[in-house]
Amino acid sequence: MLNYKLAIFDWDGTLVDSIKLIVNSIHLTAEDLGLPLLADQTVKNIIGLKLDQAIMQLYPYITEKQLTIFLKKYAEIFITLEKTTPKLYPNVLETLILLKQKGYLLAIATGKSRKGLDRILQALKLSHFFDASRCSDETTGKPDPTMLRELLSQFKLTSQQAIMVGDASFDLQMARNATIEAIAVSYGAQDTKTLQSYHPKAVISDFAELTYYLIS
């Protein structure tokens, strides 16, 4: 008998098809600042981290001044490109609705800023759909487990009553650090082999497959 009560989701690459948007924004910002362009997969591998940590990982030699300029320019480029609003992945909305009908609490744990998450939730008309969310600029970023522990505390649940769903190693490591089970999606930022190395409960290729693991 399943005892999950709370399903926690990463945002970019898990619920929303925004990986290309993020990669292109990083590339355009780097080009604008005269920094070397990196391979797409190199950039994908940092998606999920807090943005300043991600940029420092991509460009470890960047100065504090350059980082400040990069973050500002990235935000401008990202918002411009985001005007063509990213779409939910196939079967996401239908599956989330079904989970709510089955009594699940739904939450988001993301490397996005609060401003960025609220903007896209409003654009997709999902602002009131989730019961809670945590963003990297209001708590400790992934893979630190603080986001998940705060959500558990908010709903007065144990780690065994929640599950994390994400597309990146940071999501899976965060869940492990919080002793929460995790399910990985293979259509996001990182490949199946990388995801499997973190020993999630499952790696799924279609969001609808979640019902097999979450609905008894």
CATH number at residue 142: 3.40.50.1000
Structure tokens, 199? 């020993």
Please state whether 122 falls in left (phi above 0), alpha (psi between -120 and 50) or beta.
alpha
Which of 31, 53, 81 terminates a domain? The answer is: 81
* Average pLDDT value for residue range 112-136: 94
Q: Are residue 182 and residue 146 in the same domain, yes or no?
A: yes
> Residue 3's pLDDT band (boundaries 50, 70, 90)?
confident
Average pLDDT, the chain: 95
Q: Are residue 13 and residue 40 in the same domain, yes or no?
A: no
- Residues 20/117, Cβ–Cβ less than 8 Å: no
Q: Are residue 101 and residue 182 in the same domain, yes or no?
A: yes
Estimate to the nearest angstrom the gap between the alpha carbon of 168 and the chain centroid: 8
Any domain includes 173: yes
pLDDT of residue 85: 82
Q: Tens of pLDDT along 58-72?
A: 999 999 999 999 999
Which of 37, 66, 81 terminates a domain? The answer is: 81
Any domain includes 161: yes
Q: Are residue 92 and residue 23 in the same domain, yes or no?
A: no
**CA neighbours within 13 Å on the CB side: how many for 145?**
16
Q: Which domain, by its residues, includes 71?
A: 19-81
pLDDT of residue 1: 45
pLDDT of residue 216: 67
- Residues 81/23, Cβ–Cβ less than 8 Å: no
* Average pLDDT value for residue range 23-47: 96
DSSP 61-122: T--HHHHHHHHHHHHHHHHHHTTSPPPBPTTHHHHHHHHHHTT-EEEEEESS-HHHHHHHHH
Instruction: Tell me the residue type at 204.
Output: I
CATH number at residue 75: 1.10.150
Is residue 75 predicted with pLDDT exceeding 60? Answer: yes
Q: Are residue 100 and residue 207 in the same domain, yes or no?
A: yes
Q: Are residue 129 and residue 57 in the same domain, yes or no?
A: no
- What's the pTM? 0.93
Q: Are residue 172 and residue 194 in the same domain, yes or no?
A: yes
Any domain includes 1: no
The domain total for the chain is 2
* Average pLDDT value for residue range 194-201: 96
Any domain includes 42: yes
* Average pLDDT value for residue range 173-184: 97
* Average pLDDT value for residue range 73-89: 91
Rounded Cα gap, residues 72 and 9, in angstroms: 27
User: Percent of the chain beyond pLDDT 90?
Assistant: 94
In the DSSP assignment, the letter for residue 7 is E
